[in-house]
């Protein structure tokens, strides 16, 4: 039955299934890629709900806005190496400097 769902709906179904299993840690790689704005909000709310009940989310994303919206702590990688760690309140400029290797 799920094979009849669109990519976005299948993506939301998988996320809901995984987070509904008393999940303690979730690894989310680009969890909203390709989703509409309303669905992005729903996914973000689900990830925030997990952290609010004591769980953890490892978010891997190329979407800087998504990272800045959801993160308490940000680790930046460049050329396969972590170039720095910043608080979730860091600015786009601070993150960008680490992204290009400008420590």
CATH class for domain 2-62? Answer: alpha beta
3-state helix, strand, coil in the chain (%, to 5): 45, 20, 30
Longest dimension (CA), the chain: 50
Residue 8 pLDDT exceeds 80: no
* This prediction's pTM: 0.81
In sequence order, the 6+-apart residues with CB closer than 8 A to the CB of 42 are 12
Q: Which residue has the tokens 């996320």?
A: 15
Residue spans of the domains in the chain: they are 2-62, 72-103
pLDDT digit string, tens, across residues 35-52: 889 888 989 999 999 999
């Amino acid at each position: 039955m799920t094979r009849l769902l669109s990519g976005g709906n299948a993506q939301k179904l998988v996320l809901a299934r995984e987070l509904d299993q008393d999940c303690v840690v979730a690894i989310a790689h680009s969890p909203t890629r390709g989703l509409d704005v309303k669905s992005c909000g729903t996914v973000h709310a689900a990830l925030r709900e997990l952290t609010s009940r004591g769980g953890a989310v490892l978010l891997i994303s190329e979407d800087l806005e998504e990272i800045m919206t959801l993160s308490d702590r940000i680790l930046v990688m460049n050329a396969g190496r972590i170039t720095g760690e910043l608080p979730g309140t860091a600015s786009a400029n601070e993150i960008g400097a680490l992204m290009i290797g400008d420590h």
